[in-house]
């Protein structure tokens, strides 16, 4: 029996090795097709509404008409308060308007995981679009605080579903040597959405008394676009194979690869699906992800990278953007200049990143970005400490110019590194049998810390004052240390070969092991 089992194991191993070699050869020759680009552009449009929804709350929070209708106490405090620049908007109920988006996304992402696993990525994206549409309608016609929070929460459900499905869709449909570039397309959309949201807020602030309804209503356009796109795009081959639709998976592979010779890749997908048969339910996938040794590295990366994204300090820069530009001498047009300049810098950086993200490697991008993010936040914090006293309204000219340059450099560094890579890298490293569950963990951690920061940032700003920038700079050093010591390089590695990345890493090779090893089921 043992001899027979050994022969079977050897035969299976040889067959798997042959499939891997055949698949790897085909993947190395994989070219990007117009069909893949079209699919990624359409799916990436989900980033439009994500970027838009991230910024409209901040802009609406300083609209007097919005505050008078929904937060009269905050408006009264804003008009009459004598506090310094750091404490104008410190109000927990008020902060809930912004943070409710992320709070609703927390449970939504776990429902999205089950939907993506059982019904496919397309269905999750369709449901995301419908949540966005419903949330936009309720928010736009709101007459009281309960309605505005309900609308915001439905938008959060849409974000939970879209962030669970879209990164996974892009990773599974793209050739391995172009995963980074095609995923960055989604980030381009996020930046365009955020830039559009800031400009819409600027216009809406001048439309009295219901300009805030315009800010909420415009979100319906990208929501409708995502809904329509989710009906048009093809399902990913990985999802089709997982659900036993092999013929359809073959047709999709031939379409997106632009070749009829896709059987090596299809065989590898089938082999991966067979190895994942033990994951019979979403609960089983979570159990494997959290309990099995071979997934420990994946779990750590899935939890830490989205956490690092939130503590890198981007929210502090974006929230304080209009005020920073006003201090630099841009006057009453500060919010518009902030939106245009920061948005343009983001867009140019992300667009440039499309061409080198798969060439220079993920780790190098992150390390260089950390150096610049830490340096710029230290400079901004130092300028605030030295020159922003009490209710000062303007910095000296040289300091103002320096401050704007530092803001732009920080935005460039974040937008070209941890911003998009905190989504891309975890999706790359997660094994197929736990990918849907793992992406839900990524979204959960991201939304959890977005919620915590959104709910506490204004209070932290009031307490720490300029120290908040040093706080985030310190986290930048932690991120750099993690990248140097523990983050493996995933650029240009086929998803089916990702296990070897862990097994060749100085630290993780002692933590994980090959699934085919005798200790396969050892915890």
Helix 397-415 vs helix 362-387: crossing angle, to nearest 10 = 160
pLDDT value at position 285? 85
Residue 455 pLDDT exceeds 80: no
Q: CA Rg, the chain, in Å?
A: 24
Residue 20 pLDDT exceeds 80: no
Residue 349 pLDDT exceeds 70: yes
Distance CA 147, CA 492 (A): 47
Binned at pLDDT 50, 70 and 90, residue 1 comes out as very low
What average pLDDT does range 309-316 have in this prediction?
85
Model pTM? Answer: 0.78
Enter the tokens of residue 72: 């009269």
Residue 293: how many CB atoms within 10 A of its CB? Answer: 14
pLDDT value at position 395? 74
Residue 15 pLDDT exceeds 50: no
CATH number of the 31-233+276-510 domain:
1.20.1250.20
Residue 23 pLDDT exceeds 50: no
pLDDT value at position 206? 87
Q: Where are the domains of the chain?
A: 31-233+276-510
Q: What percentage of residues in the chain have a pLDDT greater than 70?
A: 83
Q: 368-402: per-residue pLDDT in tens?
A: 999 999 999 999 889 888 887 666 667 787 888 88
Distance CA 255, CA 374 (A): 45
Highest mean pLDDT among 151-155, 179-183, 488-492: 151-155
DSSP symbols for 404-433: HHHHHHHHHHHHTTHHHHHHHHHHHHS-GG
pLDDT value at position 82? 56
Sequence-ordered alpha helix ranges (H) in 45-178 = 46-60, 64-70, 72-80, 92-119, 121-140, 145-173
pLDDT value at position 331? 66
Q: Cα dihedral sign for 506, 512, 518, 522? A: positive
Residue 517 pLDDT exceeds 50: no
Binned at pLDDT 50, 70 and 90, residue 30 comes out as low
Q: 229-248: per-residue pLDDT in tens?
A: 899 888 988 888 888 888 88
Residue 95 pLDDT exceeds 80: no
Distance of CA 5 to CAs 2, 12, 277, Å?
Answer: 5, 10, 20
Closest among 381, 373, 426, 359 to 167, alpha carbons compared: 426
pLDDT value at position 14? 36
pLDDT value at position 451? 84
Yes or no: say if 509 and 381 are a contact pair by the CB < 8 Å rule.
Answer: no
Q: Who's near 510: CB < 8 A, 6+ residues apart?
A: none
pLDDT value at position 93? 67
What average pLDDT does range 245-270 have in this prediction?
83
């Amino acid at each position: 029996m043992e001899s027979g089992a050994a022969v079977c194991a050897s035969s299976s191993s040889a067959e798997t090795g042959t499939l891997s070699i055949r698949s790897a050869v085909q993947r190395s020759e994989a070219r990007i097709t117009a069909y893949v680009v079209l699919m990624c552009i359409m799916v990436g449009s989900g980033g439009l509404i994500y970027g838009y929804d991230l910024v409209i709350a901040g802009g609406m929070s300083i609209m007097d008409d919005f505050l008078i209708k929904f937060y009269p106490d905050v408006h009264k405090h804003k008009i009459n308060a004598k506090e310094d620049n750091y404490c104008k908007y410190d109000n927990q109920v008020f902060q809930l308007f912004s943070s409710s988006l992320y709070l609703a996304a927390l449970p939504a992402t776990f429902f999205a995981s089950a939907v993506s696993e059982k019904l496919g990525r397309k269905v999750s994206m369709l449901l995301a679009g419908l949540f966005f549409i419903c949330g936009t309608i309720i928010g736009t016609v709101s007459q009281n605080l309960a309605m505005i929070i309900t609308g915001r929460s439905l938008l959060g459900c849409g974000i939970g579903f879209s962030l669970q499905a879209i990164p996974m869709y892009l990773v599974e449909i793209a050739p391995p040597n172009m995963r980074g570039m095609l995923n960055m397309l989604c980030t381009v959309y996020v930046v365009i959405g955020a830039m559009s949201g800031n400009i819409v807020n600027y216009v809406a602030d001048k439309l009295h008394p219901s300009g805030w309804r315009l800010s909420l209503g415009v979100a319906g356009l990208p929501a409708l676009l995502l809904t329509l796109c989710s009906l048009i795009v093809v399902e990913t081959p990985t999802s089709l194979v997982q659900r036993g639709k092999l013929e359809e998976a073959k047709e999709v592979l031939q379409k997106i690869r632009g070749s009829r010779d896709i059987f090596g890749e299809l065989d590898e997908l089938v082999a991966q699906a067979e190895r994942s048969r033990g994951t019979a339910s979403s609960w089983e996938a979570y159990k494997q992800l959290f309990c099995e040794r071979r997934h420990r590295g994946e779990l750590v990366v899935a939890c830490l990278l989205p956490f690092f994204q939130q503590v890198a300090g981007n929210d502090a820069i974006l929230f304080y953007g209009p005020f920073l530009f006003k201090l630099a001498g841009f006057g009453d047009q500060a919010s518009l200049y902030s939106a245009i300049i920061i948005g343009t810098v983001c867009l140019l950086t992300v667009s440039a990143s499309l061409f080198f993200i798969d060439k220079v490697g993920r780790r190098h991008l992150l390390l260089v970005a950390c150096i610049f993010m830490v340096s710029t936040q230290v400079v901004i914090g130092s300028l605030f400490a030295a020159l922003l006293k009490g209710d000062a309204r303007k910095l000296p000219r040289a300091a103002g110019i320096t401050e704007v340059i530092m803001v732009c450099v920080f935005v460039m560094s974040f937008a070209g590194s941890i911003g998009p890579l905190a989504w891309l890298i975890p999706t790359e490293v997660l094994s197929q049998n736990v990918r849907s569950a793992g992406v839900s963990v990524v979204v959960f951690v991201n939304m959890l810390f977005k919620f915590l920061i959104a709910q506490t940032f204004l209070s932290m700003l009031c307490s720490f004052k300029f120290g908040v920038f040093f706080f985030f700079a310190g986290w930048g050093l932690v991120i750099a240390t993690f990248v140097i010591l523990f983050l493996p390089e995933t650029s240009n590695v086929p998803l089916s070969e990702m296990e070897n990345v862990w097994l060749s890493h100085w630290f993780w090779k002692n933590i994980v092991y090959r699934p085919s090893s005798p200790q396969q089921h050892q915890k």
